[in-house]
Chain A
Amino acid sequence: MSRLQVVSGKGGTGKTTVAAALALALATEGKRTLLVEVEGRQGIAQLFETEALPYEERKIAVAPGGGEVYALAIDPELALLDYLQMFYKLGGAGRALKKLGAIDFATTIAPGLRDVLLTGKACEAVRRKDKSGRFAYDYVVMDAPPTGRITRFLNVNDEVAGLAKIGPIHNQAQAVMRVLKSKETAVHLVTLLEEMPVQETADGIAELRAAHLPVGRIVVNMVRPEVLDGADLELVRTTQRSAVAKALSSAGLGGARRGGNAEKLVDPLIRQAEEYAERYDLEHEQRSALGELGLPLHELPLLTEGMDLAGLYELATELRKQGMS
């Protein structure tokens, strides 16, 4: 199992949720995981229902069996100052640089530098050991940028090498790339059973592979339960509406004759079934398109009560059951 698990996905597919559930799932049996956020959205804090995370590793959850989940929201500006301090003892200079807008430049505009800082911090956590030589974290899970940007984000080496051909940034990029392209890393993509996210997943996998980045698994999120199967849907097409009205009536929902309460339910219920059928066909198409990508597929259910902390544990259990952790 790779120790750095990167979770990406199209916007709106719930990649933060999946990353958090994965961090919980990996933290069982006394394991310790670090969940990192790189986009400054405080999505993790919202998910775990805590106040905004500072730039520090902080325990946010315990997993069944004594495991622990830590979280870190990486701030590129603070990561850069950290880095300057660590390597050059430049704390004061950092502040001067900030005044001049150099830090802003370095972290928001300088090509690739921001990404080197963010991935660099995550890789540092992966490699970090305590005094006894044991890894500080068993796993690091990264809530990464969306599919459209993930390859560029992880492929810092290519981005930076062309610009900084020598110097510490260059070295840092090289070190980060060694971790990211090794078996220590797996990049997972979260999708929905909808056309656009599936297409983006396929494109994203092709890009990751072209950049020699290790593609992990596909997680299909928010899968709706199969209420009616293909045979049922065939029945919807062939069954007389009056027969459905009678069945509704016999279930205690009013009269089956025209204008009766049960009869009035038939059309809207059938219409909902037709919509369901259309979606069912689309979902099957998308599922087989995903199957062709040749990666392990995991499915997480749509939580009918919406996403909350309890739901997160539920998804973590599901991931464990499906062998993703």
Chain B
Amino acid sequence: MSPDADAHDRHRRLSPAPVLDLDPLIDDPGTRIVVCCGSGGVGKTTTAAALGLRAAERGRKVVVLTIDPARRLAQSMGIDSLDNVPRRVKGLDDSASGELHAMMLDMKRTFDEIVEAHADAERAATILNNPFYQSLSAGFAGTQEYMAMEKLGQLRARDEWDLIVVDTPPSRSALDFLDAPKRLGSFLDGRLIRLLTAPAKLGGRAGMKFLNVGMSMMTGTLGKLLGGQLLKDVQTFVAAMDTTFGGFRTRADATYKLLQAPGTAFLVVAAPERDALREAAYFVERLAAEDMPLAGLVLNRVHGSGADRLSAERALAAAENLEAVENLEEPRIVDQEGGKAGLRNSPDTYGSSESPASEAPAPDEGSPADPKNPSSERTEKGRSADPADRSVDQLTAGLLRLHADRMQLLSREQRTRDRFTALHPEVAVAEVAALPGDVHDLAGLRNIGNRLAAGRPELPEAAVD
């Protein structure tokens, strides 16, 4: 890429998507639910936790519902015990008199609680001991998603918190999260179940005879396929469920409506990587199709550089220049002119008053003489004579190579983002600068919260032209 193209990239980076301003969203008392969704490995849970902490420290009474947090993140909030109850998080700045509670979803426990809440003790025991129920509740396709939504509904109904931040399960695809509750709900409340449990009733009705035929063929097939005993377990399970609390679909529908309600905001979380942003684009489209309110895109792990005026190509050329000097035993055959000639031909991306090809090194006016390297005064031909200089040259070449890598990463991220922005120019974006390590404590979460609220990666001052 030529320096010109690089300058073009920089120009484009300033224009695209509107900035997502998260503080007004979490400060608005009308915002009651924030749902963080996106593909796996993009920092969804961390985003949910950081946002919850920030909202609490800005005065709201918040509960964060996480699904499967990394151990140390959970520990940092004091919720590493799996008891399915919101716990108050300690160590907050509570000067704005907010509170943060956090909980980790235990889907089996949540399912059991629904059963216990809706059935008398005897019936509840029948259901809880049913092998089909035990398998279903321990987490097959859809259960986790369904239970997350169920828990959300419960937390909302308790009305103890004025903001619920919810993380979504690490689904096969982002869309499962919206589909699974309906699917499970419609299965448990649906035609197949009714056929399984009450064939005689249906079959007796005029015009339903064909169903009866279908029915016997089907139970026969299912029996063959699953073994008769499983079918019996399913039938027992469904009968017990059905008579104690019907209307799974009603519950699923209610949760679904809650997601469409005005107090709900969806945040799609992604990283500037092709797959993550492709999933994010699907999610944006899907939310729109379902009339679910999208607040914007949180783009985690965005890289920046305080020296982004120096292109990858120039940094590499300069590094080679330094290394070429270093590799030669005889300083006099340094190919310095040749190296500089190459640079002279390229447009000066600095807009500098100094020519990069200036023959004499600039005098070091501003800084005091280097006490470690008293002999580091360089002359054109003898600059690598000193071993200390050589190691500085080598180090500087390394710094430049590192920078070149960073600039290549930046332009790759930018290309990926441009693709998303071209598809969805209306989606507001909050960028969060990449951190070298993982987050383990409240201070780390607070830091992420600050970055989230800034909406743009915090770049060193040198980046400001």
Residues of A within 8 A of B (CB): 10-13, 39-41, 43, 46, 84, 88, 90, 93, 96-97, 99-102, 104-106, 108-114, 145-146, 148, 152, 159, 162-170, 194-197, 199, 224-225, 227-228, 232, 235-236, 238-265, 267-273, 275-276, 278-279, 282, 304-307
Contact = CB atoms under 8 A, between A and B. Distances in A.
B18 interface: no
B226 A304 contact: no
B322 A105 contact: no
Interface in B390-411: 391-403, 405-406, 408-409
Interface size class on chain B is 35 or more
Contacts, number: 294
Nearest to B137: A111
A109 B226 contact: no
A96 to B, nearest CB: 5
Given A11-B41, A12-B42, A265-B310, A253 B221 contact: no
A282 B437 contact: yes
Contacts of A265: 307, 310
B221 A97 contact: yes
B230 A163 contact: yes
B396 A251 contact: yes
B172 to A, nearest CB: 5
A262 B195 CA distance: 79
Nearest to A232: B398
A164 B231 CA distance: 9
A270 B352 contact: no
Residue picked from A169, A248, A268, most chain B C-beta under 10 Å = A268
7 contacts: A10-B40, A84-B225, A110-B140, A169-B226, A228-B399, A242-B368, A261-B354
A245 B354 CA distance: 15
Contacts of B191: 100-101
Given A167-B226, A251-B318, A272-B402, A239 B41 contact: no
Nearest to A248: B396
Given A252-B343, A259-B366, A225 B405 contact: yes
B365 interface: yes
A273 B395 CA distance: 10
Nearest to B279: A41
Contact of B398 (A100, A106, A228): A228
B436 A84 contact: no
A278 B192 contact: no
A298 to B, nearest CB: 20
A254 B364 contact: no
B274 A306 contact: yes
Contacts of B340: 252
Contact of A254 (B40, B142, B227, B350): B350
Nearest to B69: A196
Contact of B322 (A241, A250, A272): A250
Contact of A252 (B221, B275, B339): B339
A93 B221 contact: yes
A232 B408 contact: no
A38 to B, nearest CB: 9
B131 A163 contact: yes
Interface string B351-370: 01010111001111111101
B369 to A, nearest CB: 8
A310 to B, nearest CB: 15
A246 B372 contact: no
Contacts of B214: 96, 99-100
A304 B409 contact: yes
Contacts of B195: 100
Contacts of B328: none
B224 interface: yes
A96 B275 CA distance: 37
- Top 8 A-B residue pairs of the complex, sorted by shortest distance between their CB atoms: A11-B40, A12-B41, A258-B366, A268-B306, A167-B227, A111-B135, A255-B362, A247-B396
B8 to A, nearest CB: 18
Contacts of B184: 109
A242 B155 CA distance: 59
A267 B436 contact: no
B21 interface: no
Interface in B264-278: 271, 273-276, 278
